[in-house]
Every structure is written in C-alpha cells, then in structure tokens.
C-alpha cells in the first residue's frame, strides 16, 4: 500500500490470509485507508513500517469475518484506528468498534 493508493482496499481472502504493509505515517497526517474483508475466509494482517504502530500495536488484524473492516488514519507519526466493524486484534490487544461520527450529515 502506498499513499498514492489511499482509500478503500477490498480484499477476498479465499486463497489464504493477506498481508498488507502500510506506508510510513510520517508527513502524511490525515491520510486514511479502509480495509475490508469481503468474504471472511481468512484474516487480513496490516503491518506499519519500521517501529510505527497501529493503535499502539505492531500489527492489526482484520478478522476472518464476512465484511469485517477497519479504518486507519495517519497522525503524522503512527496509525490510529478510527472505526472497526468487528473485533480485531493487534499484538495481543483486542479492539472493538471505536466510534462512528457524522459530519455535516455524512457518515465518517
């Protein structure tokens, strides 16, 4: 994954687990990725570069659940989970749905 292809990543995991590597969060504050597991046959493991983290964890796993997803945004140093549809895991830590918000009537 690169900052040039930020946006939505739709994945089918029927062939096995998928490993995605996030670009460096440095200098791209506000850049967001949404990763969705369309069929939930296997997990999607998201790993940031270097010593960066996702919500303080070395990795974040979108579970093997149909339509499970996570929204991740750069804070300029690391990656933060903004929303998640199902329980996911990262380095022994479990995350549930963080929050959903509406801005000017648009769900974000």
- What pLDDT is recorded for position 12? 86
Could you give all domains of the chain from N- to C-terminal order, each with its CATH number?
Answer: 3-100 (2.60.120)
Q: Which residues of the chain have pLDDT under 70?
A: 2-5, 86-108
- What pLDDT is recorded for position 8? 85
Residues 6+ apart with CB under 8 A from 96: 84, 87
Cα 50 to Cα 21, 40, 55: the distances in Å are 10, 28, 15
- What pLDDT is recorded for position 96? 41
Contact 106, 100 (CB under 8 A): no
How many CB atoms lie under 10 A from the CB of residue 60?
A: 27
Tokens representing residue 98 in the block:
């963080």
Query: pTM here?
Result: 0.75
Q: What is the pLDDT of residues 35-53, one digit of tens each?
A: 999 998 899 999 999 999 9
């Amino acid at each position: 994954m690169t900052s040039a292809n930020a946006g939505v990543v739709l994945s089918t995991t029927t062939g096995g687990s998928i490993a995605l590597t996030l670009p460096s969060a440095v200098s791209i504050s506000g850049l967001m990725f949404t990763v969705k597991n369309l069929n939930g046959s296997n997990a999607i493991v998201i790993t940031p570069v270097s010593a960066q983290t996702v919500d303080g964890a070395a990795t974040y796993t979108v579970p093997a659940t149909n339509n499970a997803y996570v929204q991740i945004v750069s804070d300029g140093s690391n990656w933060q989970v903004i929303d998640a549809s199902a329980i996911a895991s990262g380095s022994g830590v479990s995350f549930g749905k963080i929050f959903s918000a509406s801005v000017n009537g648009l769900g974000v």
